[in-house]
Amino acid sequence: MYEQIARNKRRTFLILFFFVGLVMAVVVAFNLLFNWGPVGFVVAFVVAGGLAFFSYFKSDKIALRASRAQPADENEYRRYHNLVEGLVIAAGLPKPRLYVVDDPAPNAFATGRNPKHAALAVTTGLLNKMNRVELEGVIAHELAHVKNYDILVTTIAVLAVGVIALLADVGLRFAFWGGMRGRRDHAGDNGIGALLAILSLALLVLAPLIGYFMQAAMSRNREFLADASGVQLTRYPPGLMSALEKLRDDQAVVHYATKATAQMWIEQPLETHVDNRSSRINRLFDTHPPLEERIQRLKEM
């Protein structure tokens, strides 16, 4: 288990490194395509920096608002608060802000930039359908995300994919609406200029897909790590195992989940089509590993 945890951490840092490299490559392609020179680089990096700053400090509020999460009243949700308070003491963490999402689908997520500024949200469906040990397993899983700083990693990944998609979309729109005219005028009959333009366009088309793929791969690794770390916290694998089995058997989807926030939830909150012939390709972009695989790994612990 410890070897798996160490391997997942190495993979995460490697994927984050590639995220930074991909953002840089898109900025370079964007600038080469329109021949804006040093000004183009400055503008691109200022915009990216502004988005990074905003995302770092506001991502948790955006995620909670997008999910329609409301603060969990301490009297109404006493069991929820008690479980969290016991687990944060065991984990050596400050108590996160607690929220509830009014949705019958059982699910949960953690968000924030660090343990001191973390928030935990669960659906009413999770509170109603899980017994105490199952709910404890789910909460321990989410607190493991907090302790492992997965919530910060998730923020970086969402930001990187957003910046890549934004730059690619703007670049392609400019290109198709005549924005490459300046590039062609400067390139003239220069074959190198034409080749750079073609390569830049290809990168702008493929970069968002590459970004989504890396984001999904990173998220899957973090789920395995959080399962293992959560079980370490509760010292009772059957609790989380039983919770994952209930999540597997429940087909409800979270009404306010989006593709942007899907990776935060403990289990895929959106509808999937596993019987489709293209399911293998679709799974490449899944933000969560199959629940059966996660359950099997817990059984082997």
pLDDT tens, residue by residue, 181-233: 555 555 444 566 566 667 777 777 777 777 777 666 666 778 888 999 999 99
Question: Which of 189, 215, 241 is where one domain is finished?
Answer: 215
pLDDT at res. 54: 73
The reported pTM is 0.76
Cβ atoms of 268 and 210 closer than 8 Å: no
Same domain? 138 vs 163: no
pLDDT tens, residue by residue, 67-83: 899 999 999 999 999 99
Please tell me the total count of domains within the chain. 2
293 is catalytic: no
Query: What is the domain extent for residue 118?
Result: 66-150+218-299
Same domain? 129 vs 178: no
Q: Tell me the CATH number at 234.
A: 3.30.2010.10
Residue 93 pLDDT greater than 80, yes or no? yes
Same domain? 283 vs 200: no
Same domain? 130 vs 178: no
Question: Which of 167, 192, 215 is where one domain is finished?
Answer: 215
Same domain? 55 vs 134: no
Catalytic residue among 142, 267, 271, 293: 142
pLDDT at res. 175: 66
